[in-house]
Structure formats: structure tokens, C-alpha cells
């Protein structure tokens, strides 16, 4: 499986605790959630490019 996809799963798992903390009232956890979501956005874009390049090279 793609290393990028593994990174996406890892980022989601790490952000889960901060999401719970944020909705329990911890505003500082919200900043960490936003940072994690930006990382996910970047990883998703990279994965999309990789899939397209791989498909086109087949």
C-alpha cells in the first residue's frame, strides 16, 4: 500500500484525541485539529497526483 495512504491513516488516528478534546471544551486542541486537517489536505492532494501519474504510466 502507498506510503502516502499510510501517512493519511496515521494523521487521522493522531488527530482523533484532539477532536474529542476540542468538543469537550479544550480550545487549544482545536488548533491542533486544524493543523492536522491541513496536513491531511496536503497528503490527499499528493496521493491524488500519485494515483494519476501511476494510472497514466500503465
pTM for this prediction? 0.86
Region of residue 2 (left: phi > 0; alpha: psi -120 to 50; beta: else): beta
Q: Which domain holds residue 32?
A: 3-57
Neighbours of 47 (CB within 10 A): 16
Domain count, the chain: 1
Measured distance CA(42)–CA(58) in Å, rounded: 25
pLDDT in tens, the chain (58 residues): 699 999 999 999 999 999 999 999 999 999 999 999 999 999 999 999 999 999 999 9
Cβ partners under 8 Å of residue 24, min gap 6: none
Amino acid at each position: 500500500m502507498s506510503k502516502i495512504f499510510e501517512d493519511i491513516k496515521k494523521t487521522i488516528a493522531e488527530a482523533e484525541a484532539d477532536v474529542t478534546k476540542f468538543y469537550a471544551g479544550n480550545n487549544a486542541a482545536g488548533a491542533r485539529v486544524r493543523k492536522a486537517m491541513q496536513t491531511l489536505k496536503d497528503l490527499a492532494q499528493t496521493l491524488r497526483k500519485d494515483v494519476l501519474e501511476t494510472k497514466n504510466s500503465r
